[in-house]
Amino acid sequence: MKQLSILIVILISAATVSAQSIVGKWKSIDDETGKPKSVVEIFEKNGKVYGKIIKLFRDPSEDQDPVCDKCEDDRKDKKIIGMEIIRDMEKDGSEWEDGTIMDPKKGTVYDCKLWLEGGNLKVRGYVLFIYRTQTWLPYKE
């Protein structure tokens, strides 16, 4: 009976972990300053995951509704608020990969990997073997 109870707890825990989703709103944190940068809404479309900026955390002296003047693709000179910065992520086990993430501050597009860890979203942008990983926090208004 004790073994059955342990098995049930393990199965419930596994189901809870697999039921977690990256879809929702996430507060991005600058890994260099530790300050909040933006709120990114992650959504699913045609079996892939995308993310767009819905809010920026800016100093009063900064432009509150900037455009991406350094972007070189279809996002060039478009407003950053509402901009799709994560594109074409495909689920592979417990991770989302094979898509891209764009840094609107630099206009650079990176390969991307996303995964959940401890209720937070890990976001990795990389080129070959060079990468940076940020931890994004769940966002509630």
CB 109 within 8 A of CB 128: no
Q: Note the pLDDT of residue 84.
A: 98
Q: Which fold has domain 22-138?
A: Lipocalin (2.40.128)
What stretches in the chain show pLDDT beneath 50? 3-18
Q: And the tokens for 33?
A: 């300053």
Q: What is the pTM of this model?
A: 0.84
Q: pLDDT, tens digit, for every residue of 86-117?
A: 999 999 999 999 999 999 999 999 999 999 99
47-63 burial, b at 16+ Cβ within 10 Å, e below that, comes to ebbbbbbebbeeeeeee
Domain range summary for the chain, segments of one domain joined by +: 22-138
Q: What's the pLDDT at 90?
A: 98
